[in-house]
Chain A
Amino acid sequence: MSDYDLIVLGSGPGGYVAAIRAAQLGLKVAIVERENLGGICLNWGCIPTKALLRSAEIYHYMQHAGDYGLTAANISADIDAVVKRSRGVAKQLNQGVTHLMKKNKITIHMGDGKLTAANTLTVTKDGKSEELTAKNIILATGARARDLPFAPADGKRIWTYRHAMVPPEMPKKLLVIGSGAIGIEFASFYNDMGAEVTVVEMLDRIVPVEDADVSTFLEKALTKQGMTIMTGAGVEELKANATGVSAKIKGKDGKVVASEFTHCIVAIGIVPNTENIGLEALGVEMDRGFLKTDPMCRTNLPGLWAIGDITAPPWLAHKASHEGVIAAEAIAGGHPHAMDPKNIPGCTYCHPQVASVGLTEAKAKEAGYDVKVGNFPFLGNGKAIALGEAEGFIKTVFDAKTGELLGAHMVGAEVTELIQGYTIGKTAELVEADFMHTVFPHPTLSEMMHESVLGAYGKMLHM
């Protein structure tokens, strides 16, 4: 007899959602967590950073109060209070997850979980171990920041995202290495908060997974805000000292320049948490360091499943949650629909925001599509102008042959709240005509989504 129908190892947005869904379907479920319920996402990732960025945004507006006919004097930022608010938000959500576990009668085991067989997990806490068995185990252990091999994060001067979220002091001169979603969000936050920020990106453009037009636009916007951006550049050497960090940065021109910063954030990618959970001994199949799974999230061992950041990309919370639901439903004997990676949206909460789904224009062409491209600027939208946020654009890429929306790429205010419209459209396999026939409410930013589609077919109205 197994102790449980399902044990979930890791309680991040993948794991806890899987546990809830499985419990809803009548399974007896336990969840194992070594640190905080809710995982990185709501304790150290997505949610607390949004709280920080909100403070930065309001600070930005206060500094620009004059643009709106308002006066705000003696504005200042208290980094400690900003961080305190962010931690409060994380705590509230952490308690929310605890409540959800209780409500769904999910047993919580705090401690380090390790597989001893495909259906057995040993949980160790404070030197004491207990063995749990289950008919199925879902691995959802997530990932952590990748260190620079020559300068591991020390939490004082060299930070990962995690240190950057609870800074011991406000950095004056900040170096951000890596311009993916995490790097750019922190660069944007600290830039808004008043730090002097330099971003170093190895590739030839920032946010390199996004459409090239988005990268170009964002680089200009951030540079205008005072950020220094170095693309095609690499950090050759990084040394922490009592007052800061010294870096040797090789620029696009091949010249190495020595610079001093007070702090550095390393955001060069993630490493999956696959060590010390017993995978090696069991012979679980891996692919380039990540667990190999089928569309229902099964590993090669019967009864062992894996979701989220320890599996194939994209490494995003919402992808993990969706996989959690798929795995739970498959375990309960259902037939969930597999997820199409091309329909998973991505959001970056810098200022201006970036959001996208599907293929970039370049990738679509590379895949052999004959494309129709629409691009509508924020400048042509009444609501954007009224908001004082007239910078950005919405770009759509269609397959000329079938009218399939291959991709949508947005940069500008609130675009992270808009992208879901295109995501629904892609998931439901709508074609250009469906988007054209949809009535978008006026006055909203969403009207630009309509215009962009019209533009792809030469029918744009407001430009």
Chain B
Amino acid sequence: MSIELKMPALSPTMEEGTLARWLVKEGDTVSSGDLIAEIETDKATMEFEAVDEGVITQLLVAEGTDGVKVGTVIAIIQGEDDGAIAAPKAAAPVAAQAPKPAVVAAAPAPAPVTAPVAAPSHSSGDRIKASPLAKRIAANSGVDLAAISGTGPNGRIVKADVERTTKNTVSAELVEARPTADNRPSTGSGLTVNGGDIPHEVVKLSNMRKTIARRLTESKQQVPHIYLTVDVRLDALLKLRGELNASLEPRGIKLSVNDMLIKALGLALIQVPKCNVSFAGDTMLQYSRADISVAVSVPTGLITPIVTDAANKSLSKISTEIAELAARAKEGKLQPHEYQGGTASISNMGMMGIKQFEAVINPPQAMIMAIGAGEKRPDIVDDALAIATVMSATGSFDHRAIDGADGAQLMKVFKELVEKPLGLVA
């Protein structure tokens, strides 16, 4: 019998993804656990494993196709038990043997099949209803109509449905105002960027880039940001780090300053719970655990793996966790739960010499801490000039949820924890 492999939901919220790469070709035999394809979601690339055994007879979605809806049939596997029989159009008496979704547990060879079940070939199964224009645009832009759901009459796929998928359409269309003598001027909408005469190439956006663009725009448009900056002396923390690293060396652990700042932010959020919140319209979520999202730069953009319960983890634990998460983030192999969530974020550009900056909040979180470079600066202690290693830290707060005074309180506690760092190890 043939088995339809469907686009899997790799996270609870995933609705569609990009079929980044096929790892098998038609004719290949696969068995349970074999890697079949790489699927790119909005943030990560994941491998899709076979759970059934058989021969891949058809790959229905081309490599690189994006916007493939969860549940779309992407390939057909011919089970080994019935070889090439599959009498076409034979009545299918056993309804229960309808093709199983590939995500179900490995199906043992089905019970003796008395009548061969017709192999529902996807392409002939149900005709795709689409307008001629929708078909033309889909063909031009390499979009698979099977992956699109139609909004036209009787579920027909219309131009707008395809354009929602491709997004790289012609240009902003004018909504033309027709008749009447005092015709009001038409207004263009949307953004047209054509590069003009400047030499350029058009680069297709990765799903990650699209997500970053969408979320940062939403954040800056919808979240009123307030920025609070403090200067933090680092000498004590650097000294403690040196001592800790000396004693951790046998275990192969090397703490970074950032590891310690993650812990400090976690502790500060627990001490100032008014900043460990999410604004949710009519309500507000008050978190009792601090999960810190750590901004990690990867070749295709940015991703924020999460250190859960940072306030209660040891520095060594944070350090090993973040090293492991960052390494997998760079390979695009994070699982969605490892980067979705978090109650606040930290972004450190100190290693790049940035003195101070304001980060964009990552909704629904309500704060992000931006860490600048630690540098030797003149420092006045008891009216005497001294030298101290100082960094500037700037918290961005969602002002709908967090008042300035509460934000200031968080910055104060964070500063104290860093300047008197024994609290981080206690």
* Cα-based distance from A366 to B177 in the complex (angstroms): 14
Q: A399-B170, A402-B133, A429-B131 are in contact. Are A313 and B188 (CB under 8 A)?
A: no
Query: B183–A208 contact, CB under 8 A?
Result: yes
Q: B137 CB to closest chain A CB, in angstroms? A: 5
CB within 8 Å of B: which A224-253 residues: none
Q: Which of B93-101, B152-160, B311-319, B326-334 contacts A (4 or more CB under 8 A)?
A: B152-160
Query: A404–B178 contact, CB under 8 A?
Result: no
Complex partner residue of B177 from A178, A183, A314, A358, CB under 8 angstroms: A314
Query: B136–A359 contact, CB under 8 A?
Result: no
* Cα-based distance from A63 to B178 in the complex (angstroms): 35
Query: A313–B132 contact, CB under 8 A?
Result: no
CB within 8 Å of B: which A335-364 residues: 337, 341-342, 344, 346, 358-360, 363
Complex partner residue of A363 from B159, B179, B186, CB under 8 angstroms: B186
Query: B182–A269 contact, CB under 8 A?
Result: yes
Residue A151 at the B interface, CB < 8 A? no
* Cα-based distance from A399 to B182 in the complex (angstroms): 28
* Cα-based distance from A268 to B182 in the complex (angstroms): 7
Number of interface residues of B (CB under 8 A): 30
* Cα-based distance from A180 to B179 in the complex (angstroms): 7
* Cα-based distance from A151 to B131 in the complex (angstroms): 52
Query: A359–B176 contact, CB under 8 A?
Result: yes
Complex partner residue of B179 from A312, A346, A368, A403, CB under 8 angstroms: A346
Q: Which residues of B contact A429 (CB under 8 A)?
A: 131-134, 158-159
Q: Hey, what's the 0/1 contact readout for B182-200 against A, CB within 8 Å counting as 1?
A: 1110101000101000000
Residue B175 at the A interface, CB < 8 A? yes
Majority DSSP secondary structure for residues of A touching B: loop
* Cα-based distance from A270 to B175 in the complex (angstroms): 20
Q: Which residues of B contact A3 (CB under 8 A)?
A: none
Query: B173–A367 contact, CB under 8 A?
Result: yes
Residue A385 at the B interface, CB < 8 A? no
CB within 8 Å of B: which A176-233 residues: 178-183, 208-209
Q: Which residues of B contact A403 (CB under 8 A)?
A: 132-133, 136
Residue B385 at the A interface, CB < 8 A? no
Q: B301 CB to closest chain A CB, in angstroms? A: 29
Query: B179–A209 contact, CB under 8 A?
Result: yes
Q: B101 CB to closest chain A CB, in angstroms? A: 29
Query: A146–B178 contact, CB under 8 A?
Result: no
Ordered by A's residue number, 7 sampled pairs between the chains whose C-beta atoms are within 8 Å are A182-B181, A313-B177, A313-B184, A359-B174, A366-B174, A402-B137, A430-B131
* Cα-based distance from A173 to B179 in the complex (angstroms): 27
Closest 8 CB pairs of A and B: A180-B181, A368-B171, A269-B182, A429-B131, A314-B178, A429-B133, A178-B181, A269-B181
CB within 8 Å of B: which A416-452 residues: 428-431, 433-434
Q: A367-B173, A401-B140, A402-B136 are in contact. Are A428 and B131 (CB under 8 A)?
A: yes
Query: B178–A313 contact, CB under 8 A?
Result: yes
Query: B133–A209 contact, CB under 8 A?
Result: no
* Cα-based distance from A349 to B127 in the complex (angstroms): 44
Q: Hey, what's the 0/1 contact readout for A357-396 against B, CB within 8 Å counting as 1?
A: 0111001001111000000000000000000000000000
CB within 8 Å of B: which A293-344 residues: 312-316, 337, 341-342, 344
